[in-house]
Structure formats: structure tokens, C-alpha cells
Amino acid sequence: MDILIYGTINSFSLALMAIGFTLVYGISRLPNFAHGALYVVTGFLVWSFISILGVHYIAGIILSLVITGLLGAAIYQFVLIRVRGMATSEIIASYAIGLAILEGFRWGGFKGMTYTLPVFIEGSIEIAGVPVDLQRIIVVGIGAVVVAFLWLFTHYNKIGLALRGMAQDERAAMMLGIDSDMMALVAMALGSILAGLAAIALLPLGNIVVEAGYRVLILAIAVCIVGGLGSWGGAVLAAFIIGFAQIITVAYIASHFHIVVALLAIIITLILRPSGLFGRQKELEERV
């Protein structure tokens, strides 16, 4: 029972971490290696709004999400747009930006136990005899809401439909009058906001540390590769597979192997089924 409940919670947190990355990659074919950095940035922004400026928690969260979204859009507009289509430069540029942000925080003395966010609601409840913090329940709730919202957004909204069109066939979408750069900008902003949302949901469970940025990036990438890069349904399913695999590993083997699960998942996926669980017709494109 422990495994079932904590596995579900862990899976939802993984899905939250990964969905922003997979959204950006799916729409603009841009591997956003700054994803982990945006996660930490949001955590830091919320913390400084609450602790330094004394803003109300909810207002702080909304402000930070907006700023993170703008930051993501700025990264796209001023840097990535100039190197689009050049795979090498895209990877290097986004990686360099992420690194600059994370290491900048590390230099600013941003580590240790001092930086924590308060939980939304204190307390815990028992589900089938297992005590669970309310915050973890909220994580599951936010995860489910985000997935549902994204599904509705991309099926019933003009911008959402345009994003899906871009993801399926960029040229055809441009022919139908969809502004490809604008949509990629929107995707990047949305992806950053999703990274920020993950941070807000997950960070109250621990400290805000720079390492979290790298960890989130690795986990997000692992989930995306297992699910098939750019596939949203695949990412959610993969989050469940990796989430349960991690919890089972921790329960039966040792907690050290937590991070190894992600690496093994990537390697096994690449060997057996490189396009992931739900990679759409990309076998032809990506497998040489």
C-alpha cells in the first residue's frame, strides 16, 4: 500500500517536472536544457517575494510564475531564435544559459537549509492506513489539473490547436497562417511556467538547492525519452513507470539507486525502443 500511494505521488511529481520540457520539445523541436534552471529560478523568486518583500503567498506564486514565463520567452526571443535549426548551437546555447543561471545561484551562496518554502496546508491524513502529508496530495492534485488543463487547452483553444499543428507539421502549419516563431515563443513561455509550477508544488517538500536544477533536468529528460520525445501522453505514462520503478527500488534495494533508475530507464529505452513508448512515426526520422 505504501508503494502504491507514494508511487502515485512520485509519478505525479515526475510528470509535473517533465511536462514543460516535453511541451517545448514537441512543439519547436528545441531541447530546452535550461529547464532545470527555470525550476530553481521560480523557487528562488517565490522565496524572495515571501521572505524578503513580504508579499502574500498566493500573490508571490502568481508573480513568480509570470516572471518565469517572461524569462523563458526572453531566452527564446533573444537567444534561441537566432540559432533555431542549428542543432549543435541550440543544444549548446540552452545548456549554457541553464548553467549560467544555476551556477550564478550557487555563487550567490544559494545553498543549504535556509531556503525553504512553506507548505500550502499543514497536516497529514491517513489513506488506507498510510499517513500522507497534505502537500503531497496537493502535488497529485496539481499534476492532474495540469495534465487535464493541457489536454483541454490543446484540443479546444485556438492557440492550443495551433501549437498542436506546429508539433505535427511545422511547414503545413506555417502554410495555414500559423506564425511559427510566435507559437514557439508561446510554447517556451508555457514550458517555463510549467517548470515553475512544478517548482511551486514540489519545493515545499524540501529545500531549494542548486542541485535540484540538475536533478529535475535529468528526471525530466529521462521521462521524456522513455515516453518518446515530444509526446505528452507518453510523458505521463513514462512518469508513472519511472515513478513506480523508483519507489520500488527505494523500498526493496536501497535509496542510493534512486537516480540510477532514471539513467537505466534511458539506456534501456534507447536500446530497445529508441522512439519511446509513444514516439510518433519518428522511428524513420531519428533512427539511422
Residue ranges binding other proteins (CB under 8 A): 31, 33, 78-79, 82-83, 87-89, 91-93, 95-97, 99-100, 103-104, 106-107, 214, 217-218, 221-222, 225, 229, 256, 259-260, 262-263, 266-267, 270-271, 274, 285-288
- Smallest distance, other proteins to C-beta of residue 103, A: 4
Q: Which residue has the cell 517548482?
A: 199
- Smallest distance, other proteins to C-beta of residue 155, A: 27
In terms of DSSP bridges, do strands 124-127 and 130-133 run parallel, antiparallel, or are they unpaired?
Answer: antiparallel
- Smallest distance, other proteins to C-beta of residue 243, A: 18
Q: Which is nearer to other proteins, 31 or 204 (CB)?
A: 31
- Smallest distance, other proteins to C-beta of residue 251, A: 17
Contacts 24+ apart (CB under 8 A), 10-13: 10/243, 10/244, 10/246, 10/247, 11/239, 11/240, 11/242, 11/243, 11/244, 12/139, 12/140, 12/142, 12/143, 12/144, 12/239, 12/243, 13/139, 13/143, 13/198, 13/201, 13/202, 13/243
Q: Which is nearer to other proteins, 73 or 139 (CB)?
A: 73
- Smallest distance, other proteins to C-beta of residue 240, A: 21
Q: How far apart are CA 194 and CA 281, in angstroms?
A: 26
Q: Which is nearer to other proteins, 98 or 160 (CB)?
A: 98
- Smallest distance, other proteins to C-beta of residue 255, A: 8
| CA distances for 277 relative to 6, 13, 227, 235, 238, angstroms | 23, 20, 5, 9, 8
Q: How far apart are CA 244 and CA 251, in angstroms?
A: 10
HSE of 217, CA atoms in CB hemisphere, 13 A: 19
Q: Which is nearer to other proteins, 34 or 201 (CB)?
A: 34
Q: Which is nearer to other proteins, 162 or 212 (CB)?
A: 212
Q: Which is nearer to other proteins, 125 or 270 (CB)?
A: 270
